[in-house]
Amino acid sequence: MKKNKRASMSDAQKFSLVRREAIYTGLALCGLIIFWLIAGFGTASSDVKIFHLPLWAVLGSIGVWLVAILISAILSKVLFKDVDLGGDDDD
Amino acid sequence: MTEGNLSALVPLIFFMAVMVGISIFVRHKQAGKNFVSNYFIGNRELGGFVLAMTTVATYSSVSSFVGGPGMAFQVGFGWIYMAVVQVTAIFLVLGIFGKRVALLARKLNAVTVVDIIRARFQSDFLAAIAAFVIVLFFCGTMTAQFVGGAKLFAAVTGYSYEAGLILFGLTVVIYTSIGGFRAVALTDTCCAIMMMIGIVLLLKYVLQAGGGYENIMTTLETKNPELFEPFSFGNMPWTIYFTQWLLVGICTIALPQSVVRGISYKNAQGLHQAMLIGTVVVGFMNIGINFTGILAHGVLPGTAADYGGVDNIIPTAIVMAMPIELVGLAIIGPLSASISTISGLLIVASSAIIKDVYLHWANKNNHVVTAARIRFLSMAATAIIGAAVFVIALTPPSLIWLINMFAFGGLETAFFWTLLLGLFWKRANKLGALLSMTGGTIIYCATQAAGFKIFNLHQITIGITCSLILFLIGSYLGKRSDDETLKIFFP
């Protein structure tokens, strides 16, 4: 059923969907840049330490990585839709 | 060959033999299929995991494993904070270009990024320039990989630079020539796994040799407070953060070696998986190896200069922290970063010459090219480009890391707007793309040659800005693309 639905999409619908997904990705990038700024420079004056590391170093490295994983998961599992790419090699 | 550590050499030789074995197996399995599609994009059969690994492995170069962590040793956590911007690289390129390029490639029967550029802008001249830019800058990047890998090999194993170059340099040229893209993707996957194993091993032994995490960090807090400050007491100016976002973050989406992966995967589910897996892996590698670079202070109490500069930190840490029988295994990680980048670039450079220039010329002039001839020429082109870079690397040019970054910036200047605006903006046209690619690249190269900078920012900022301005000027002054083309690209 799902396969039929994606196969029945017109070219215009596919390209419109892909364009929307690209915009979501661009917005996700903006979000990550803002998080990166706040997590690192934004907390640089804090004296809090986690495992001997200053808060900015933890949030600015592992924190940014985890948020990037979360973003990728939301993009790929929620916002991105399955689409028949065409050709005979798309199962 | 000079006297070296034989136990370090054996795992390396075994690993290289496996790489060649994979390519022979791939070649055997794919006999009889469409050669060009098979050789240059693996017949669009990549699944999610392999797509993620090959994209990450091609993107992560030897400098990520040697120069980067050496800098982290010197400037501290600010370097990790800067390097972590690379976690965007995989979800950005696959999220923005992945599906669009896949749809277009199937529609146009395109095998290369240049095929898509040619079809979008209806210009053989632009396609020829694009192919030229790819080959030119790729040769620079590949040379840096060869030199970096061979220097690392010599420092860790005790054998000569030339021996290292012959061992892994010739191996990568051979397996790429034989197996083509599919072999590159599979060997890249092995390489990415070995990179992660190498990082974990090195981290474990560096911690052990330094007396444990607590001990290393307590000493660092007292002796090297600059490592815990984002600007590292002036060693990490804001300009580095800014340009790195462009150079190794946002603009990497247009690197042809990354975009071509959008042509090579099987279906949308594979792409979705690859976005997630790739982001996990690239972050693990970046944070893991740079953190190891900082912790290497526990093994190397002096400054980077005491060990011959930042490039020698990781090789020295490997030698000093790892048991001799594991040195060979540890060095496979960084060398994997080197060979996976070389193989990824080599196959795209070869496709630029054979598919984008030669076959297009032959088709246009109604020259019949037999399948056997295409096969021979494709393999020969791959081998010749690889051999040429190998020869250049035998007498390594100085400032090799600068050449690497120069090439990165050049490719981004040439392709960023041409691909981004070309694929997402109807008004984008041939004149805009021509001005942007040629003008932007020339301006970028000229500012690099003159050492001209604005606000002390890397010249990528000038290149990418000029490239955009020229693209917009050309697009508003030039003729719109014809309706037939627009119907294909914007149905």
Cα-based angle A74, A79, A84 (whole degrees, multiple of 5): 125
ipTM of this complex prediction, to 2 decimal places: 0.92
Q: Does A47 touch chain B (CB under 8 A)?
A: no
A91 confidence band (pLDDT: 50, 70, 90): very low
The one-character DSSP state at B87 is G
Chain B residues within an 8 Å CB radius of A80: 95, 268, 271-272, 275
In this prediction, residues B198-220 reach a mean pLDDT of 95
Q: What are the start-end ranges of the H helices in B352-439?
A: 360-364, 371-394, 400-424, 430-434
Q: Which residue has the tokens 């979800």?
A: B91
B356 confidence band (pLDDT: 50, 70, 90): confident
Give the SS3 label for residue B491.
coil
Residue among B295, B293, B322 nearest B310 (CA): B293
Rounded Cα distance between B60 and B285, Å, is 9
Rounded Cα distance between B120 and B484, Å, is 10
Sequence-separated (6 or more) residues with CB below 8 Å from residue B450: none
Q: Does A25 touch chain B (CB under 8 A)?
A: yes
Read off the tokens for B136: 């030119």
User: What pLDDT sits at residue B129?
Assistant: 94
Residue B335, φ and ψ in degrees, nearest 5: -70, -30
A89 confidence band (pLDDT: 50, 70, 90): very low
Rounded Cα distance between A24 and A36, Å, is 18
Q: In chain B, what is the straight-line distance between the N-terminal and C-terminal CA atoms, in Å? A: 61
In the CATH scheme, what architecture does the domain B6-398 have? Up-down Bundle (1.20)
For testing contact with chain B, the best of A71, A72, A80, A90 (most B CBs within 10 A): A72
Residue B5, φ and ψ in degrees, nearest 5: -85, 100
Domain parsing of chain B, residue ranges: 6-398
Domain parsing of chain A, residue ranges: 2-79
Dihedral sign computed on CA atoms, order B438, B440, B444, B446? positive
Read off the tokens for B133: 């830019």
The pLDDT of residue A71 is above 60: yes
Mean pLDDT of chain B: 91
User: What pLDDT sits at residue A64?
Assistant: 98
Single-letter code of the amino acid located at B101: V
Residue among B155, B209, B104, B144 nearest B488 (CA): B104
**Residue B286 and residue B248 in contact, taking contact as beta carbons nearer than 8 Å:** no
The answer to whether the Cβ–Cβ distance between A25 and B490 falls below 8 Å is: no
Rounded Cα distance between B116 and A37, Å, is 36
The answer to whether the Cβ–Cβ distance between B100 and A69 falls below 8 Å is: no
Q: Does A43 touch chain B (CB under 8 A)?
A: no
